[in-house]
Amino acid sequence: MSPLLTLGVLILLACCVSTGADRRVACEGQKTTLNCGSSKIKVLRANYGRTDRRVCACGRPYCQTVKTNCVNRRTLPVVKSRCDGRTSCSLVASNTWFSDPCYGTYKYLDVTYTCLRPKRVVSCEWGVSRLRCGWGTIRVQRAVYGRRSRSVCSSGQSWFKTRNTRCARSVTSSMARRCNGRKACNVRASNRVFGDPCRGTYKYLDVNYTCSSW
């Protein structure tokens, strides 16, 4: 393999790895499931129709697979409405769900999606949590103010101020009201903002959030 060709292959592989996208294909009449575990689904592309002669062609006559310009623009909004923001969702490749974009052609559902893994920001007491989204807007998944670990935000603090690790107040709804739907959000980790869940303990604000377009 030539050096130039090798470089091209490496670049292609890097691009594939960086996108982190998954693809699901279901032949007409079949069911498929999009699954992101504990993360959230974001649908990137979807089409119910046919753009490739080889996909879902086994055992089918030529006349049912020859048309490869069968694109259904209704597919993406339908799939996004059912799957975006969920951890998993099931889809059926059928005319009932998506209508029939090309009568007489044996179709398939082709979906590409990615899993939005939460970003985490931890700010020590009196520090500022800076939530940022380069694309989309902030959606807070979980936020806790207090102390659940002795090691987090413990530098320079006495043992007495970090010993209580059962100090945790959920402030998810408060953070959501302040930050959801914004591109950037700054919130100070302080008792004035969230109240004092454990007097005498040096606390921190621990936030998980995603950037979404819905």
Q: For 94-117, write each residue's pLDDT tens digit.
A: 999 999 999 999 999 999 999 988
- pTM across the whole model: 0.64
Residues 46 and 59 in one domain: yes
With respect to residue 126, please indicate whether it lies within any of the assigned structural domains.
yes
pLDDT digits (tens, 9 = 90+) for 127-161: 999 999 987 899 999 999 999 999 999 999 999 99
141, 121 contact by CB (below 8 A) = no
Instruction: Give the Cα separation of 55 and 207 in Å (integer).
Output: 43
Domain boundary among 83, 100, 116: 116
- Alpha-helical (H) ranges within the chain are 3-19, 62-65, 75-83, 95-98, 159-162, 172-179, 191-194
Domain boundary among 116, 150, 184: 116
With respect to residue 31, please indicate whether it lies within any of the assigned structural domains.
yes
Residues 112 and 124 in one domain: no
Instruction: Give the Cα separation of 86 and 92 in Å (integer).
Output: 17
With respect to residue 1, please indicate whether it lies within any of the assigned structural domains.
no
With respect to residue 125, please indicate whether it lies within any of the assigned structural domains.
yes
- Alpha-helical (H) ranges within 84-201 are 95-98, 159-162, 172-179, 191-194
CATH label of the domain that carries residue 86: 2.60.120.740
Residue 13 has pLDDT above 60, yes or no: no
The token pair that represents 48 in the structure block: 């119910």
The pLDDT value recorded for residue 214 is: 60
Q: How many domains are contained in the chain?
A: 2
Domain boundary among 116, 148, 182: 116
Residues 137 and 176 in one domain: yes
Residue 89 has pLDDT above 50, yes or no: yes
Instruction: Give the Cα separation of 176 and 67 in Å (integer).
Output: 48
Residues 81 and 138 in one domain: no
Residues 132 and 109 in one domain: no
DSSP 125-143: TT-EEEEE-SSSEEEEEEE
Question: Which position has the token pair 């919130």?
Answer: 187
Instruction: Give the Cα separation of 6 and 28 in Å (integer).
Output: 38
Residues 201 and 124 in one domain: yes
Residue 139, domain extent: 119-212
The pLDDT value recorded for residue 48 is: 98
